Structure 1
């Protein structure tokens, strides 16, 4: 297949169900404001210190409004992690589907770079990422967040460039994501822009691993 092959669109799989799903624009805006407030608090104080009262105050809402959607702080953080997941996946798929990508190698490299950009530009992502550290139990069907992301990446690469969509390819991408996540998270531990040495090591390690496993 080539760059003219029809691309696929990513459909998010939320990690949490809200107590009250917003159906009106006003409710959706209120929910967005709460999650935006939570994201800014995570950036400033970390996930450990976030409380529902802090979110209510920063969003200019009542505590009752917070509890209308989120029964506790963990569900609120899970919802923010789910939003982060949707947004980083949208960036990854956009990078792979970019018509300027000459081949799957360039597309995959840009996809990994887009994750690093998400750390820099998406409020709350640096401290929470997709919320996987809140609950280490597998998702339905035994999947983890990394395996789900790997599955979506391989689907996009297969649709766009004809990359083999096999269990081996998905496993390779999942391992690469685990490696990258550990190093990039460390890069952004104390530096909002990321420690370039750790980012560089992550890029080199992932490139070498993928090259040795499925070719780069």
Structure 2
């Protein structure tokens, strides 16, 4: 994933960035700042993240951070977008690898992938940050709706599901609820709550099945 994709995907174009990375070195610097933010979030959580911590972890000056980001919220939102992009890119790969041939097995592949990324992807918990209650912006809500729409499109193309407003809404519901449940289930990466993961899997099958039956 190119770091410039992050700036292109930011709400309102690249308004969260003070300067877009137009050269390879600038892109690498921005990637390093996001990697540093991810590491700090994994260590202490996003609530305590500061731009000074990002600079220190990245081995950069605070001026370098402010060259790209106006505040800590913009750092977190950019990291969340990067995580969302990586999840979307790996979803199709996960479907191919799993040999999924039904929408239920497609759901399972997405759940397993998301759980694995919560366990292994630095800063992946940032994917849920940016909700209105977390940062004061509505960008997180738009991001989850976009993620649900992307998943719905893949599922329609793969498994021939109908294209209805109710089904599209259902994918958004599952994206929102899934990240809330899986973040809790994987809060302890070394000892994940697998029963909670399986409960969400069963709920997903039942809920989507009922929506499809009514379509």
TM-score of the superposition, structure 2-length normalised? 0.83
Deviations 1:133-175 (A, max 9, x none): 33465459xx633321121111112222322122111112222
Q: By percentage of residues, which structure has more helix?
A: 2
**SS at the partner of 2:48?**
coil
Q: Say if 2:72 is the partner of 1:77.
A: no
Query: Using a 3 Å threshold, how does the CA distance of structure 1 residues 177 and 136 change in structure 2: closer, same or farther?
Result: farther
Q: Say if 2:40 is the partner of 1:41.
A: yes
Deviation at 1:57, TM superposition (A): 1.0
Q: Say if 2:147 is the partner of 1:152.
A: no
Counterpart mapping for 1:21-170 below 5 A: 21-96=20-95, 100-126=99-125, 128-133=126-131, 134-135=134-135, 137-139=137-139, 144-170=142-168
CA RMSD of aligned residues (A): 2.4
Deviations 1:160-205 (A, max 9, x none): 232212211111222222332222122123x024211211211111
Give the Cα separation in 2 of the matches to 1:69 and 1:101: 41
Check conservation: 1:70, 1:76, Cα contact below 8 A. Answer: yes
Deviations 1:11-45 (A, max 9, x none): 98723422111111111111111100000000001
Between the two structures, name the one with larger relative contact order (CA 8 Å, sep ≥ 6): 1
Name the counterpart of 1:14.
Answer: 9
Deviation at 1:105, TM superposition (A): 2.5
Q: How many residues align?
A: 201
Name the counterpart of 2:186.
Answer: 188
TM-score of the superposition, structure 1-length normalised? 0.83
Query: Using a 3 Å threshold, how does the CA distance of structure 1 residues 21 and 145 change in structure 2: closer, same or farther?
Result: same
**SS at the partner of 2:161?**
coil
Check conservation: 1:183, 1:202, Cα contact below 8 A. Answer: yes
